[in-house]
């Protein structure tokens, strides 16, 4: 048993203040008791999916060290990242890289794009001289299918969206990370170029042993490349398991609704019955009072209101759903 690469234990993040006698309760639970383990070998692509406001970006920010958890732990190679010393933190920042949604905003428009490489090479002392520098950049660009003379001396606006995103992946690769947190990396890239980015992610996983935490709202791309998937609803896990299993055979009513709503690219297969959009007052249910999906759930039962359902283990070892519909199944153990 090798030690896991990343372990998230009971991660909870609450924004806002608890009620006091002067102010109302302004707390929003962005993430609640979230658990996740990514093994070091083999590398995997783990998807975190959910609609806006589901807590997926909070999770990404927590892993990247941008926000501190309210409770719970994030362990990287067995060490809690909240208590890392400065030098270890630097190492962590090198080993865990990020790719963001908008590949334009991360560039400084005044510098040529090679600046992003020069910066990390200097910061992390990746090369001893010019020749070596050229070597490492070339190698990284080759991985993403770009040639240095084509892109390095250009300004960000002269590159296409796909090229810019591939440059960001090359930059991340340069640091030989163990994990890349990819927050919606393809949602702003054209459909025809999306495949290329996804393919690069798969190659980095398979050929270079780099794991991904793939944050997305798009289940279809997750289905194409992902290993495990965790689907969040308002900060809590709704369903998790092996991606093909979850998407081909969704168990949680929310996940069923989600998958049913993906438009099928065939004019002969139409959406089923009309769905009701939840009104605003229904969307945010009170924290800690039963299942969050209850107001929108077609199967709502009285007990759903009393207490949040535990995560049940469904048939198939690693397919789990947090829904009372499966209460005859065993409750899943906390994975840590």
Partner 1 sequence: MTVTQNRAVESETSAAREKVLEVKNLRIHYETPRGDVIAVNGINFHVYKGETLGLVGESGCGKSTATAGILRLVQPPGRIVDGEVLLNGVDLLKLNESELRQKRWRDASLIPQGAMNSLNPVMKVKEQIGDGITTHEPGMSRQAVKERILELLTLVGLPSRVYDLYPHELSGGMKQRVCIAMGIALNPSMIIADEPTSALDVVVQRVVAQTLLDVKKKLGVSMILIGHDMGLQAQLVDRIAVMYAGNIVEIAPVRSLFEEPMHPYTQLLIASIPSIKERKPLKITEGLTHDLRNPPPGCIFQFRCPQVMEHCRKITPPLRELKPEHYVACHLYE
Is 52 among the residues that bind partner 1 (CB under 8 A)? Answer: yes
Q: Of 219, 291, 311, 321, which lies in the binding site for partner 1, with binding defined by CB under 8 A?
A: 219
Selected from 247, 304, 314, 321, the binder of partner 1 by CB under 8 A is 247
Q: What distance in Å separates the CA atoms of residue 135 and residue 22, rounded to the nearest whole number?
A: 62
Contact map string, positions 140 to 169, toward partner 1, x by CB under 8 A = --------------------xxx-------
Binds partner 1 (CB under 8 A): choice among 13, 164, 171, 194: 194
Contact call for residue 328 and partner 1 (CB under 8 A):
no
SS3 289: coil
Q: CA-to-CA distance for 116 and 38, rounded, in angstroms?
A: 29
Six-digit token string for 193: 């170029």
Q: Is 137 in the site for partner 1 (CB under 8 A)?
A: no
Site string for partner 1, 258-297 (x = CB under 8 A): xx-xxxxxxxx-xx--xxxx-xx--x--------------
The CB-of-103 to partner 1 minimum distance in angstroms stands at: 13
Q: What whole-number distance in Å separates Cα of residue 120 and Cα of residue 82?
A: 24
Determine, following the binding rule CB under 8 A, whether residue 199 of this chain makes contact with partner 1.
Answer: yes
Which span sits near partner 1 by CB under 8 A: 12-20, 98-106, 122-130, 185-193?
185-193
CB neighbourhood size of 280 (10 A) = 7
62 binds partner 1 (CB under 8 A): no
DSSP code for 331:
B
d(CA 253, CA 219): 15
Cα(263)–Cα(136) distance, integer angstroms: 43
Residue 221 sits in the site that holds partner 1 (CB under 8 A) = yes
Which residues have CB under 8 Å from 11's CB, separation 6+?
31, 33, 34, 35, 59, 62, 69, 71, 72, 73, 74
Q: Single out the segment in contact with partner 1 by CB under 8 A; choices: 27-35, 40-48, 100-108, 196-204.
A: 196-204
Whose tokens are 């009620």? That residue is 19
The answer to whether residue 192 forms part of the interface with partner 1 (CB under 8 A) is yes
Strand runs labelled E in the chain: 6-15, 28-38, 45-49, 71-76, 79-80, 96-99, 179-183, 211-216, 228-233, 236-242, 312-313, 320-321
Residues at the contact surface with partner 1, assessed by CB under 8 A:
51-52, 160-162, 190-196, 198-199, 202, 217-221, 223-225, 244, 247, 257-259, 261-268, 270-271, 274-277, 279-280, 283
């Amino acid at each position: 048993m090798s030690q896991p690469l990343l372990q998230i234990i009971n991660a909870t993040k609450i924004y806002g203040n608890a009620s006091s006698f002067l102010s109302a309760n302004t707390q929003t639970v962005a993430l609640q008791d979230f658990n996740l383990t990514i093994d070091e070998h083999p590398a995997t692509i783990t998807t975190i999916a959910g609609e806006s406001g589901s807590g997926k970006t909070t999770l990404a920010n927590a892993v990247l060290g941008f926000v501190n958890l309210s409770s719970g732990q994030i362990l990287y190679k067995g060490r809690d990242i909240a208590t890392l010393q400065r030098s270890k933190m630097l190492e962590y920042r090198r080993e865990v890289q990020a790719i963001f949604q908008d590949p334009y905003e991360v560039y400084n428009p005044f510098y040529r794009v090679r600046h992003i490489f020069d910066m990390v090479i200097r910061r992390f002392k990746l090369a001893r001289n010019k020749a070596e520098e050229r070597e490492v950049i070339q190698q990284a660009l080759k991985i993403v299918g770009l040639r240095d003379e084509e892109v390095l001396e250009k300004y960000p606006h002269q590159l296409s969206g796909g090229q810019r995103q591939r440059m960001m992946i090359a930059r991340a690769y340069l640091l030989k990370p163990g994990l890349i947190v990819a927050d919606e990396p393809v949602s702003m890239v054209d459909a025809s170029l999306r495949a290329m980015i996804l393919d690069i992610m798969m190659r980095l996983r398979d050929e270079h042993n780099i794991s991904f935490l793939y944050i997305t709202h798009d289940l279809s791309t997750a289905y194409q490349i992902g290993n495990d998937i965790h689907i969040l609803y308002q900060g809590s896990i709704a369903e998790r398991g092996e991606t093909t299993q979850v998407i081909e055979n969704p168990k949680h009513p929310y996940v069923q609704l989600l998958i049913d709503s993906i438009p099928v690219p065939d004019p002969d297969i139409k959406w089923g019955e009309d769905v009701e959009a939840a009104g605003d007052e229904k969307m945010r249910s009170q924290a800690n009072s039963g299942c969050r999906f209850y107001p929108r759930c077609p199967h709502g039962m009285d007990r759903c209101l009393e207490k949040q359902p535990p995560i049940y283990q469904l048939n198939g070892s690693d397919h789990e759903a947090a829904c009372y519909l499966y209460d005859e199944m065993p409750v899943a153990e906390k994975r840590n």
